[in-house]
């Protein structure tokens, strides 16, 4: 009897699982654009950035689509992991190299990695009260040693060399390890500063002054030269439309999609224990 109940539960669970996958496929993740009127595409960059695949794919597709004459990247993000942020940056630059204008629209927050992405665009638009800045790099390491000791759990580590388990959550960090990781952080930070200098044509001494991790408003960002125009999403759409040479009101183009099921199943353990470089304000 117990085995039959377990079998029924397993069948129900698997049925629900495959139904969700089917829904994800049929509701249109990344459907191709099918319209003939020229327009401006909007790509949403929202929340903590941990993966760039979906955003890069959208930018790439809109870059190839002949009816999309310009792209607005709407940023509502405090930043995130360095490498995905850099991938988005490079894809925006690639679209621009092919002659299609890209305008950044900062929402309520576009700090650190959010600002980094905006730097790749032809123009940056921010609200006066947008929270931006936080130019810098941070690396977090959870230390679970004392917690595991209380739980009576221990770990043995066999490694090929001294620094193979650098950043391990199962032991305190050694001074030399901290020094090595600080070198990594400083290297990535220097690259961030260089991006600000090159993309915004800001003198180096000014870049160093504003690149100390502080946050500031959109209005201040404009004074510093990090923002071109104060305004909202409509302002950014208008600028992109004008740069693209669209006559009259542009058609607004966005992908229709639902949250991918794989995001729901993201590993919490990986987020807690994997050391990553972050463009974040904290």
More confident residue, 92 or 258: 92
pLDDT value, residue 281: 64
Q: Which of 77, 105, 112, 168 is catalytic?
A: 112
Confidence band, pLDDT 50/70/90 cuts, at residue 272: very low
Report the CATH number at residue 62. 3.90.226.10
Confidence band, pLDDT 50/70/90 cuts, at residue 56: very high
Confidence band, pLDDT 50/70/90 cuts, at residue 261: low
Residue 64 is assigned to a structural domain of this protein: yes
pLDDT value, residue 22: 46
Task: Report the C-alpha gap between 151 and 157 in whole angstroms.
Answer: 19
pLDDT value, residue 17: 53
pLDDT value, residue 155: 77
Q: Which residue has the tokens 């925006």?
A: 92
Residue 204 is assigned to a structural domain of this protein: yes
pLDDT exceeding 70 applies to what percent of the chain?
78
- Whether residue 4 has pLDDT greater than 90: no
Residue 10 is assigned to a structural domain of this protein: no
pLDDT value, residue 271: 47
Q: Which of 64, 164, 174, 262 is catalytic?
A: 164
Our answer to whether residue 160 is catalytic in this structure is no
- Whether residue 273 has pLDDT greater than 50: no
Residue 22 is assigned to a structural domain of this protein: no
Residue 29 is assigned to a structural domain of this protein: no
Q: 164 Cβ partners below 8 Å, 6+ apart?
A: none
The mean pLDDT value for 256-265 works out to: 53
Which among 117, 112, 111, 59 is positioned nearest to 86, based on CA atoms? 117
Q: What is the pTM of this model?
A: 0.80
Q: Over the stretch 150-190, which tens digit does the pLDDT of each residue have? A: 888 877 788 898 888 888 888 888 999 899 999 999 999 99
Average pLDDT taken over every residue of the chain: 84
Residue 40 is assigned to a structural domain of this protein: yes
First to last CA, the chain: 54
pLDDT value, residue 3: 52
Which range marks the domain in which residue 171 is found? 35-279
Residue 13 is assigned to a structural domain of this protein: no
Residue 19 is assigned to a structural domain of this protein: no
pLDDT value, residue 253: 94
Structure-block tokens of residue 220: 């201040």
Task: Report the C-alpha gap between 134 and 280 in whole angstroms.
Answer: 7
Structure-block tokens of residue 178: 């901290």
The mean pLDDT value for 247-273 works out to: 63
Number of domains in the chain: 1
The mean pLDDT value for 234-250 works out to: 95
Our answer to whether residue 112 is catalytic in this structure is yes
With 0-12 / 13-18 / 19 or more C-beta atoms within 10 angstroms meaning exposed / middle / buried, residue 162 is exposed
More confident residue, 255 or 214: 214
User: Which range is least confidently modeled, 17-31, 92-106, 190-204, 211-225?
Assistant: 17-31
């Amino acid at each position: 009897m117990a085995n039959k109940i377990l079998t029924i539960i397993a069948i129900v669970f698997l049925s629900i699982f495959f139904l969700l996958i089917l829904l994800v496929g049929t509701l249109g993740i990344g459907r191709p654009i099918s319209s003939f009127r020229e327009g401006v595409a909007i790509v949403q960059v929202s929340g903590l950035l941990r993966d760039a695949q979906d955003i890069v794919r959208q930018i790439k597709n809109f870059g190839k689509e002949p009816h999309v004459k310009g792209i607005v990247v709407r940023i509502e993000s405090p930043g995130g992991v360095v490498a995905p942020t850099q991938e988005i940056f490079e894809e925006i630059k690639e679209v621009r190299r092919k002659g299609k204008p890209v305008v950044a629209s900062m929402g309520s927050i576009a700090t650190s990695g959010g600002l980094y992405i905006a730097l790749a665009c032809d123009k940056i638009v921010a609200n006066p009260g947008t929270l931006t800045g936080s130019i810098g790099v941070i690396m977090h390491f959870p230390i679970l040693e004392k917690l595991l000791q209380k739980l009576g759990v221990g770990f043995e580590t066999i490694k090929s060399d001294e620094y193979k388990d650098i950043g391990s959550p199962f032991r305190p960090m050694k001074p030399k390890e901290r020094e090595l990781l600080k070198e990594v952080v400083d290297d990535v930070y220097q690259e961030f500063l260089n991006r600000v200098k090159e993309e915004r044509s800001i003198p180096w001494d000014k870049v160093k002054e504003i690149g100390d991790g502080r946050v500031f408003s959109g209005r201040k960002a404009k004074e510093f030269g990090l923002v071109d125009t104060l305004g909202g999403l409509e302002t950014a759409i208008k600028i992109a439309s004008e740069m693209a040479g669209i006559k009259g009101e542009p058609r607004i183009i966005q992908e229709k999609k639902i949250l991918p099921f794989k995001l729901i199943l993201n590993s919490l353990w990986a987020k807690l224990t994997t050391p990553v470089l972050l463009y974040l304000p904290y």
